[in-house]
Structure 1
């Protein structure tokens, strides 16, 4: 019998082993967590770097699984917000999941992931995201692929034609106060983009992405698009290309095309539905679809309540079954109601004798459907969404079709 302590709450599990404690790490854990981090993520620090990091260490959101006082596995939970159907929703970002190889396949990471779901629910984080080392591994715990990137490699001979546009492009020193409103207007058009606070702009965007920056200004002087990029070894890497209309896109591409004499190619990422090849005189450019991040609905009832469904003019009601063994508060049969105004709700219910559900799926499928990565009728064809074709059609009509995208990572 193994006993796990989670924040002072004890739970017994039918497993072999000794005492396991899951707790927030503290400054005294620095050496153990750094040893595990360096081993798992294959980097090293000098004594001077270790001393500097030890002095600055603030283990906010870092959780560890300990046996007999020794760190066996760890993860970090980071509070974020995502745009979903144009609305910010609280998201728990999972990062730094690690364990030593001799401790693998003992269930330590599984217990930490289960713990993370409880922690996120308590914090009101209705959805979670992570960058997987293995999609199959995290699918076992309810996370699902939710966004792809389309990556282009464009030669100078393939650049879009230069276009005379109103307004102008100016190279600038990166300034989050200038770029932030442009990003927000652009990002809120997608599902799964991050709501960036000023600290994220400073430390994760400006500091990491912006060797160089350029802004497209409309004739009225307002910013309508921007580029964050760098140039090295005759390759221009675009880290972010954001534009609010077609004129801004043309203006930015004309600016890029004016680099033709100093470049061998431009490399950039875009949403999976981006149509750059169609807009080129020669569309046969190098392009690749890359599966990127995973998401997981943490609290289905709260997620549905905050979601902006499409109102159909009359209330919609479905008996819906959710399968989610790792988050038992989601598991079961629900009455899923969507009002005429698009307001949704889930209420736990029981089936009468002989009654069946209208539709159902596991939490992975529900996540893919509500995040917008897959459409309900397609999921029904694949057998992922069970129930009647009529119920799938109803969901198709009330779930707005919006492209997923993510420009950040953690």
Structure 2
């Protein structure tokens, strides 16, 4: 009988070995690299007695869901050795993780998947897309007149960026309220090497910032932009000017995780100089359907009866009546459902990733009662979703 519990400190080396084998088997068994940022998050494991069978890591975030701050769990570092696979252990660990979140009254969960199909069959669903650009420094020469100043920052400057980051995040659902530790250990520090962090300031105020690294690759040196935030279009153009100033050092510029858009194609003089690719991002799911639906805010006063299916946990499997007239309530009911929906698709609606129309096209949403479509659309309007934290 396996047991899910926190990982004692004496298992840290074994935890590291399991992660290396799962995500970097090509490095061999004698690679002593740490997983980086190890002080953040809580390690968990499935045990048979004292034998560690598989592991994961839990992070605890505060994130924006439907305009309010809510607790969200970040699931990461799910790993099992080959001798423990295909026996249902990871499935059991995922279910135990949800039970832990529920006990802590954390009703939302996110992860970055190694496989969308794998986590999709357990109830998580794609919840955001992002843009990757690849170009050259010369393509970013916009003729922007020099103004303000660029300043290199270190971890002790993290507070200088908070207001800018928070204002930028107001545009997106699932933006995170970063802690000081997250700024220091996940923005100013990297896994194998630390990035550069620069801000563009005007009158002493940070108006934009950029986090990047430079790698020497087979096709030459590549400047990889990991994160940016800008107060306005002017501040963004100054960041592009800053990147363009590296024309004597790098051959290629790569913007890795831009909120879904194609704006750079319209900004540069020759859009054919920019490769633009839309990629899928993190996955998201409701931990406890009725409690999650009761905690979020609504702009409509209405009601709908939902028949929900969940492939992993029984407490979400059933029929629930959501009533937002006055005090919001969501309770189990014996009433006939207005809609049938799986937890994956419901999670996408709650996050704002899909409109109701798209949920019917791409997800598992079946509307039985005509008015319910309008009710759902009023309850869960589409929003821009961008979870930039990687964990």
TM-score where L is the length of structure 2: 0.87
Tell me, in whole angstroms, the C-alpha distance in 1 between the residues paired with 2:181 and 2:126.
Answer: 27
Pair 1:328 & 2:314 matched: yes
Pair 1:360 & 2:343 matched: no
Match of 1:213 in 2: 197
- Does the 8 Å CA contact 1:146/1:295 hold for their aligned counterparts? yes
- Does the 8 Å CA contact 1:22/1:64 hold for their aligned counterparts? yes
Match of 1:300 in 2: 289
Cα-to-partner distance string for 1:83-111 (whole Å, 9 max, x where unaligned): 22343221111112111212211111111
Pair 1:242 & 2:229 matched: yes
Match of 2:140 in 1: 159
Tell me, in whole angstroms, the C-alpha distance in 2 between the residues paired with 1:264 and 1:60.
Answer: 37
Match of 2:261 in 1: 273
| Alignment RMSD | 2.8
- Does the 8 Å CA contact 1:151/1:289 hold for their aligned counterparts? yes
Pair 1:255 & 2:239 matched: no
Cα-to-partner distance string for 1:17-48 (whole Å, 9 max, x where unaligned): xx32322221343454344333323356869x
Provide the secondary structure at the position in 2 that maps to 1:170. strand
Shift of 1:237: 1.5
Question: Unmatched 5+ residue regions in structure 2?
Answer: none
The farther-off stretch of 375-384 and 88-97 is 375-384
Match of 1:9 in 2: none
Counterparts in 2 of 1:226 and 1:60: CA distance versus 1, 3 Å: closer
Alignment of 1:366-381 (within 5 A): 366-381=346-361
Tell me, in whole angstroms, the C-alpha distance in 2 between the residues paired with 1:245 and 1:405.
Answer: 18
- Does the 8 Å CA contact 1:62/1:77 hold for their aligned counterparts? yes
Shift of 1:63: 2.2
Shift of 1:58: 8.0
Match of 2:119 in 1: 138
Say which of 277, 298, 303 aligns to 1:288: 277
- Does the 8 Å CA contact 2:148/2:201 hold for their aligned counterparts? yes
Provide the secondary structure at the position in 1 that maps to 2:234. helix
Say which of 24, 33, 37 aligns to 2:19: 37
Tell me, in whole angstroms, the C-alpha distance in 1 between the residues paired with 2:321 and 2:372.
Answer: 13
Shift of 1:240: 1.0
Structure with higher Rg: it is: 1
- Does the 8 Å CA contact 1:26/1:59 hold for their aligned counterparts? no
Say which of 158, 170, 182 aligns to 1:176: 158
Pair 1:124 & 2:111 matched: no
TM-score where L is the length of structure 1: 0.83
Cα-to-partner distance string for 1:238-259 (whole Å, 9 max, x where unaligned): 1111112122112222333333
Tell me, in whole angstroms, the C-alpha distance in 2 between the residues paired with 1:80 and 1:236.
Answer: 29
Counterparts in 2 of 1:214 and 1:86: CA distance versus 1, 3 Å: farther
Tell me, in whole angstroms, the C-alpha distance in 2 between the residues paired with 1:206 and 1:58.
Answer: 15
Tell me, in whole angstroms, the C-alpha distance in 2 between the residues paired with 1:60 and 1:216.
Answer: 32
Match of 1:231 in 2: 214
The farther-off stretch of 134-143 and 168-177 is 168-177
Shift of 1:157: 4.1
Tell me, in whole angstroms, the C-alpha distance in 1 between the residues paired with 2:52 and 2:181.
Answer: 30
Tell me, in whole angstroms, the C-alpha distance in 2 between the residues paired with 1:228 and 1:35.
Answer: 30
- Does the 8 Å CA contact 2:355/2:381 hold for their aligned counterparts? no
- Does the 8 Å CA contact 2:304/2:376 hold for their aligned counterparts? no
Alignment of 1:84-95 (within 5 A): 84-95=65-76
- With a CA cutoff of 8 Å and minimum separation of 6, indicate the structure with the bigger relative contact order: 2
- Does the 8 Å CA contact 2:222/2:250 hold for their aligned counterparts? yes
Counterparts in 2 of 1:301 and 1:20: CA distance versus 1, 3 Å: same
Shift of 1:79: 1.5
Match of 1:16 in 2: none
Q: What is the number of equivalent residue pairs in this alignment?
A: 377
Say which of 185, 190, 198 aligns to 2:172: 190
Question: Unmatched 5+ residue regions in structure 1?
Answer: 1-18
Shift of 1:374: 1.4
Tell me, in whole angstroms, the C-alpha distance in 2 between the residues paired with 1:101 and 1:169.
Answer: 53
